[in-house]
Amino acid sequence: MVVNISTTISSMSDGSGNRSSGEPGGSVGIHAPAARLGAGELCVEFGDDLITVEDRLTFGRAGDLEIDSNPHLHRLVGEFVREHDAWWLRNLGTRLFITLVNPDGTRVDLAPGSSLVLVGLGGAVRVSAGPARYEIRFRSTIAAPLATPVVAVNGGATTEFEAFLTPREVDFLVTFAQPILDGTNGPLPTYVEVADVWGVAPKTLDNTLQTIKRKMRNARLVRDEPLDTLVRVAIAHSLVTRSDLNWSELASGGARSSAEGPRFSLVP
């Protein structure tokens, strides 16, 4: 069923407490009949509902998209919203995390109150509430590019974000991201641990992270997310990669700066 966001949307549970647009853990791709999308519109699929969104769609127990009557769900869990020629996913809840799954399988967990720009043209949003898990799929005709232009501080020409990061910023980010990039998925290292790796004061590390956050906010990649989300967004946008981790030699107890590696060898 194809509906417009201005239409009242109702959904039926499958009786098991799980609502999804496909089997959990399955392909992220959209499998329902394609809706005709206008420029910049978003297509959201949930159960039997296929919704075309022009600017904004809330979802939850009492959102524009009513996921379920599950009392463990917030009235408004999150929303898709279009801003600055890109679609954003926002977590409107107070305790539930939202997981964004990209088509390549990478995941980003959004804490309550945080936001994330959608990079690709499709993906899935997963929410767990009590014993139930829900999946909403989406696709769009617009998305933020992987390399987001950032306006220089002096107001001059734009610079690709990846090149806009300094070697020190890459070094610190890849160290925080090591448990995610190496697949162990352990807790992120502490400020003190990262500062010790690179022989700097924790205050120096914090100042550098504030600069990274400012750059990512200017690039409209984040707003005021916690460190864990910031790191996962950086990974999702390929601002730090497994190649950066391999070069750093952190896994073997080393600390080789990216300034000496191939990432910055071609940067004038």
For 205, the domain range is: 149-260
Which domain CATH number covers 39?
2.60.200.20
The 3 state secondary structure assigned to 2-46 is: EEECCCCCCCCCCCCCCEECCCCCCCCCCCCCCCCCCCCCEEEEE
Q: Which of 98, 117, 140 is the endpoint of a domain? A: 140
Q: Is residue 267 part of a domain?
A: no
**CA 256, CA 249: separation in Å to the nearest integer?**
6
Indicate if 131 and 153 belong to the same structural domain: no
| Same domain, yes or no: 162 and 220 | yes
Residues 48, 6, 36: CA angle, nearest 5 degrees: 60
Tell whether 266 is covered by a domain: no
Together in a domain, 11 and 74: yes
Q: Which residues pair with 133 in a beta bridge?
A: 128
Q: How many domains does the chain have?
A: 2
Print pLDDT tens along the chain (268 aa): 434 443 333 333 443 445 554 333 333 333 333 344 444 788 999 988 899 998 899 999 999 999 999 999 999 999 999 887 778 889 999 888 888 887 767 777 787 888 877 876 788 999 999 999 999 999 887 655 444 443 333 333 333 444 478 999 999 999 999 998 888 888 999 999 999 999 999 999 999 999 999 888 877 777 777 888 888 888 877 788 888 999 999 999 989 999 988 877 654 4
- Do 156 and 58 share a structural domain? no
Strands, E assignment, 118-163: 122-129, 132-140, 149-151, 158-160
- pTM reported for the whole predicted model: 0.54
